[in-house]
Amino acid sequence: MSRLLGVMLGVLTAIGGFVDIGDLVASALVGARFGLGLAWALLLGLVGICLFAEMSGRVAAVTGRATFDLVRERLGPRAGLANLAASVLVTTLTLTAEVGGVALAFELATSVNRLLWVPLVVVLVWAVIWRVRFSVMENLFGLLGLCLVAFAVALWQLHPDWSALWQQLSAPSVQEGEGRPTYFYYAIALFGAAMTPYEVFFFSSGGVEDRWTRKDLLTERVNVFLGFPLGGLLSLSIMAVAAVVFLPANVQVDRLSQTVLPVALTLGKVGLAVVLVGVFAATFGAALETALSAGYSVAQYFGWQWGKYVRPREAARFHVVVMAALLAALLLLMTTADPVKVTEYSLVFSAMALPLTYLPILVIANDPDYMGDQVNDRLSNLLGSAVLVVIVVASLAAVPLMVLTKAGQ
Amino acid sequence: MIGHPPGAPVAAGLTWEVAIDATRMGARLGAGLCAGLLAAGCTSPSRSAEDYQNKVAQTASAALSALQTARLAAAAAAAGNGTAAYWTVVFVDAEDTLGSVQATLAAVQPPDETSDARYEEVSQVLDQAAAVVRSLRIATRRGELGSLPELAAPADPLVGQLEQYAGKSQ
């Protein structure tokens, strides 16, 4: 019974924890501009993140070590270094976007400018990482993230033309007035939002923090293959409400205040309060995960003691890296950088760095020296390789498309 | 099982070469990212009337988006949905977007007299749109949410004009 409850809690946490600032921004922006015509990119990213998160979780459960703890050992210092440089840059940029997202959620609730909230948010993130137990932290914000179900309820309340939505979803096409380069630029942004590298750093290192063993493989798979797709449905409902409310009105979503507007329109004060709690939980939870991921990747590469399962004094360098990442995010945001723009750029840069994150996972998950009888099966390898091809294409096309479309303008 | 306890040091072997490689790699990545951002974020000058027309369309499109957001918000706020704090942010954001697109268009050199005339026309519409959103923001801050639909009414004809400039008229 307690095992079943544990599995259910894991699934709920995975659903609530799936959405972050990247999904909130990219899904609403794309829904308002292309309807559900780019939902395929989200679904493709969902397949990819499920496959690779399962692999990285399996590596953690079987070896007792996080995937990137093994990258340098398996692929050597130079390959590991390329991985580290890209991951730290992208993760810090994502952390900046998440902290900005939390500040924006506070601004929406109080109308006090986000810049006044940013230092407080940074201190709060640091305090939670320093003081709160890993499992409490993971479950609390994951469960609160379920408040984003308000988007799905709002969609229902809008009484949309379901057949028109299905048509957009099943027969994707470029909207009139939009160019193909812009269409594919946003496809890469959505794909990048679903496959943000920190998600696998955190999932794999979190597995070690939770002391997963082979006995936990079933729980891990249920979390990934049930929780993530249901979390993906939240992203899809954000896209759908934007398609229903904003597309006919020619509204382009470039503010978080617009993302939650359909919920306020349909569900009133209570709906707005619930969705703002969801936005806070999604961005705050992701800020914790990205800050920890920055510490995990650096500490694992250099072989330092890491993790929240040891006292901070015993993992001092790990905590210094976490604090340095938070400080970098603070400084960047205090330049008055727009968190939504930071998010958009972080998604594209994340797409660029994807091969450096996901290729090593595929290599290690296929290494019998590490994985024994738990190496990838044929289906995992076939699907993983196919997704990797898409990842490489997306990574090569990201910057040319960003320049060509002037970042999606 | 190959491996060691979580967090324990992996094989040593970090040398100055690796550290220098790390610095170089970081510098290259940083330079690449900055170049990409600059190339994507710059406002380019207009070399032809057609190019200027495209910029006017982009400006009108962004302004239309801000104005439509404000109209949706005004109707919902007057109906008692949401909170005054939230609606204030929505109107401030819309006003900010309008100010930003006005400034961006003003910074572009019109290439000929036809473009000068087009700029004057669009600027007037943008000024009126900004005035409507400003009045919505002020009324919301004063707690006069019931007056928002009336204050938003002058936006109706502006929407049609902006749709035309943006090339989105039905």
Cα separation, B159 vs B164, in Å, equals 9
From chain B, pick out residues whose CB is under 8 angstroms from the CB of A317.
none
* pLDDT at residue B6 greater than cutoff 50: no
Here the tokens at position A370 are 């590490």
Residue A200: what pLDDT?
86
Of A69, A345, A399, the CB nearest to B10: A69
The larger pLDDT score, comparing residue B54 to residue B88, is at B88
* pLDDT at residue B9 greater than cutoff 60: no
Here the tokens at position A224 are 């990934």
Find, in chain A, the residue whose alpha carbon is nearest to that of B75.
A265
Cα separation, A41 vs A47, in Å, equals 10
- The verdict on A63 touching B (C-beta cutoff 8 Å) is yes
From chain A, pick out residues whose CB is under 8 angstroms from the CB of B92.
111
Cα separation, A120 vs A330, in Å, equals 10
Of A245, A189, A213, nearest in space to A25 by CA: A189
* pLDDT at residue B18 greater than cutoff 70: no
pLDDT bin (cut points 50, 70, 90) of residue B19 is: low
Here the tokens at position A269 are 């004060």
DSSP strands (E only) in B47-162: none
0.95 exceeded by pTM: no
- The verdict on A248 touching B (C-beta cutoff 8 Å) is no
**Range B26-33 average pLDDT:** 58
Cα separation, A325 vs A295, in Å, equals 8
Residue A83: what pLDDT?
82
Residue B170: what pLDDT?
55
pLDDT digits (tens, 9 = 90+) for A19-72: 888 889 999 999 999 999 999 999 999 999 999 999 999 999 999 888 777 888
Please say whether the beta carbons of B64 and B166 come within 8 A.
yes
CB spacing of A268 vs B80 below 8 angstroms: yes
- C-alpha dist (Å) from residue A18 to A27, A281, A394: 13, 11, 21
From chain B, pick out residues whose CB is under 8 angstroms from the CB of A58.
none
- C-alpha dist (Å) from residue B114 to A261, B62, B102, B110: 39, 22, 19, 9
Q: Crossing angle, helix A114-131 and helix A67-110, to 10 degrees?
A: 140
* pLDDT at residue A154 greater than cutoff 90: yes
